[in-house]
Amino acid sequence: MSSALALAILLAAQESSAPLATDRPGLLLAPTLVAPGRLQLEMSTPLWTQSTEGGARVTSASAALALRYGLEPRFELRATLPAWSVLEGADGVRQRGFADAELGFKLALSDSPARPVALVTSVRLPSGASSFTSGGPGAALQLVQGHPLGRGTLVTLAGVTHLALDEADDPTTATLGLLGA
């Protein structure tokens, strides 16, 4: 059985000569798209944070999962699956549950593999547990560009996100990002 599975994986890997195009969920998007007909599942490095509220330690942990499907050479469908999250509050109570799901697409704006540019948009669905949801729908729009840098790439991102958070004075935030890979 395990030999058949290994052979199937090997054959599937040889089927596409397109390079792997990852987004690094939870960190920064890439300007490259998944090859047409390819379904890709990506997981972020788990995010773990500690802070202090009222003299007590608050700990949270979560990991993002992204599912991407290449529909056309310049267009992919995307879904950020609900992340499993754990929050231990200052009162010592531990809460667990899924966060909100997100659906969207990525559109290549440049045909140049040396300097890829893509537009990424998504809609957040308030589908998570009460402790891990925004409470209302949200949307994001980002422009991502890659710059060759010797043997690596410098990725730049600029975008805007709107989340319907109850406690937010202004639910719209701007994002700028840089990543050397």
What does the pLDDT read at residue 89?
A: 72
Q: Provide the residue-wise pLDDT of the chain in tens; the chain has 181 residues.
A: 555 555 455 445 545 566 667 776 656 688 889 999 999 988 877 777 777 766 666 677 777 788 999 999 999 999 988 877 777 777 777 888 888 899 999 999 997 878 889 999 999 898 888 877 878 888 989 999 988 888 777 888 888 888 776 555 566 766 666 666 5
Domain ranges for the chain? 17-43+70-81+100-180
Residues 6 or more apart whose CB falls under 8 angstroms from that of 117 comprise 31, 108, 109, 110, 143, 144, 145, 146
Label residue 138 left, alpha or beta by phi (over 0 means left) and psi (-120 to 50 means alpha).
beta
Instruction: Give the residue among 112, 111, 108, 110 at the shortest CA–CA distance from 120.
Output: 108
- What is the rounded distance in angstroms from the CA atom of residue 143 to the CA atom of residue 176? 10
